[in-house]
Structure 1
Amino acid sequence: MAARSGRTVNDLRRSNRAAVLRRLYFDGPMSRQTLGPATGLSSGTISNVVGDLLADGLVEEAGSVDSDGGRPRILLRVAPAAGYLIGVDVGETRVRVELFDLALTELARRETPVTGDEYDVDHVVGHVRDGVHDVLRQAGVTPDRLAGVGVGVPGIVAAAAGQGAVVHGQTIGWDAVPLEQRLRAACGLPSGVPFLIENGARTLGQAEMWFGAGRGAASAAVVLLGSGVGACLVTDVARQGRALEWGHLTIAVGGRRCRCGAPGCLEAYAGAAALIERWREAGGRVPAGADEETALGALADAAFPAAGGDPDPAAAAVLARTAEYLGAGLSGLINLFQPERVLVGGWAGLRLGARFLADVRAHALAYSMAYPAARVTIGLGALGPDAVTVGAATLPLAGLLDTGGRPEQPAREAAAPGWQAAIRGRVLT
């Protein structure tokens, strides 16, 4: 049965379940009595929905609170063990796979370092496959308990008919890679387990907005500084966040050649790989044979030595210039989008830390228009180096909450309204 709006009774039930689940997830535990005003649903509807969710095992009791003169009120919460989530960070230095319960408590993880010559698609798909199987085995969770697998990747993610999510990763040599299709075939999970793939900056942004330094902000630009550079913009019209190829903004006409092939990109100056190369060119003592994360740590330690030490002039000069490049790049985000907050995350951004960010902030405000500059705060992300993985896990979690814990049923083809048949073939003059 469909209402005049075209929504069926099942659609309405799913919407009510979703409203209750989301409120319990983000604001719970809550009682039935407080769920009504919080969701706008009647007490009768709350009673029916909660009964269904309890029967499905998606919601459980979580203690009680005293009421004014009456019986104690039972508190409810989303049941952490009602399902499991896998988050994958396909980074440029490692592939990290983590298993979470619905409360996003980490249950198991596997990390595999990768180098440039191991970054072909077959290697990465194999690392993800092995990681998925390993974390399920470690936690003793069967694949049918999974609510989904979320994957954060470098590059642009687009949908292709018959292939699902396709990754255009120009800086890593991926040209229209049907990653969703490849992962589904390799991992061998039940067909009902969704694979959700997004740009890593967007998964970082979603994690910070849901659980980190972005909570409560109406708009934010969340910046990922790793081997490369990316950003996610969250506004009132893009509440789920939109990935931006911000690292390929031109900041120096005719400048250094970027990995994408273009000259003068921000990433060619501010990505971790570029930072290390610029330090080497300036005569810096890059540790022999060190991986990228170790080398960047050596650069940061040389520029910001322990109390009493003198900074390495080459390292200090490279970071000082990089702070200005990043500040100029951030000013573009501030002037164009006027976000309430700018948050800097990613393993490289967090490793360089607050001392480096102070210079970046000063340059960003100096390069920005006065009005948006006066209204923005610039800080570090709060969730640490695992934020991309946590954000990836929120992709299937968001789907579970939005559908009320029941996946959408395939839509039936509706008969065309009578008026359409009546005018079909007529030509208006």
Structure 2
Amino acid sequence: MASTATVPQEENNEEVKQKNVIADGRNRRVLQDIGNFVNERAAQGKKPITEGVAAVAQALKRGGGAVTKVVVAQRKVVDKLKHETVIVISSDEKTEKSRNVARREESSRKEVRTLTSILSAQSKAVCGLTNKPKDSIEDIDGADVGNELAVTEYVDDIYKFYKLTEDEGRVHDYIDLQPDINAKMRSILMDWLIEVHRKFDLMPETLYLTMNIVDRFLSMKVVSRKELQLVGISAMLIACKYEEIWAPEVNDFVFISDNAYVREQVLAMEKAILDKLEWYLTIPTAYVFLVRYIKASIPSDDKMEDLVFFLAELGLMQYPTVVLYCPSMLAAAAVYAARCTLDKSPLWSETLKHHTGYSEDQLLNCAKLLVKFHSTASESKLKAVYRKFSTPDRCAVALLSPAKSLLSNHCGELF
């Protein structure tokens, strides 16, 4: 009795499932081609496939043998349909007409000039940008499109902002305001800081920020000769905290200065510097421009890069260079002087002119100064930069012959 009671229940469940399948099949009118195919078969007096599904449901009521017969018959119908040619009803003429209409609309859109495009074109014409040969300006960011850290969508705007704001952190003539310090003492301090930077194996950004912090603080506050080194190590401590992942500790700077100062003095000077600068540390130093301009100097290699940094650090060592030239011009002049030293052709390309914003004539005086420093580096008593770039890991660029085309006697008049 138990077994006979369960059989009708299973049959009822299967029947409900099949009815749901049939109902779902009726609602699934997704592709027009399938609908065309089914209608065409019905018009020819042949049974649609859905009738076979209903037959299976009816066979379930009659028993297993009937189901088998229906399934076999259904397979024969499917096999027969596979070998028949299916004609898909579609209007090629309508498709072609829609394509032509889309092309006409697209061409009409191209001909329409918006007010924004007109104003942009007029603005470029006034600035003289339309006369630039676009083909001669190479895309230096094309290889970094997939690199999210390169921010290729915004990098040009970022450097435009750097150039607009670089004067805010620029150092102006201050040496006459310091009764106990002169330009030579400043160079000695910078030479020592370059050695400290190298011993601690710090990031290059840290060195350039340190130099800027020292100069800006000296331009705001009178410092005695005994405190000058204290200003240097405190400025580097601040720059390390800003740029480095693992910054040296205060005791490391006390030790490197041969215990000339105690910990409390370093912390007090650090606080004094930050108060005077009003915590304004996010400034475009020469380093940010050097990285960009080296990239625009095509072709560029390790030798070219090291030579540019060598010339730039020689320039930052000297007080007149820092006062006379802004960071972007110093960086561009270092690239130009390096290309002249390595006999690159052309010496100044349209790509470099586009990204730096400087012409060859504008950079000539600064480049001559840098080459002058290069020619006297081996004989100078301050040899930190020279030793740093004489090693094989820096391609020994300090040992290269200076660019003779840029050497002139008038450079020495500034000293």
The answer to which structure has the higher strand fraction is 1
The answer to which structure has the higher helix fraction is 2
Highest relative contact order (Cα 8 Å, sep 6+), 1 or 2?
1
TM-score calculated relative to the size of structure 2: 0.23
TM-score calculated relative to the size of structure 1: 0.22
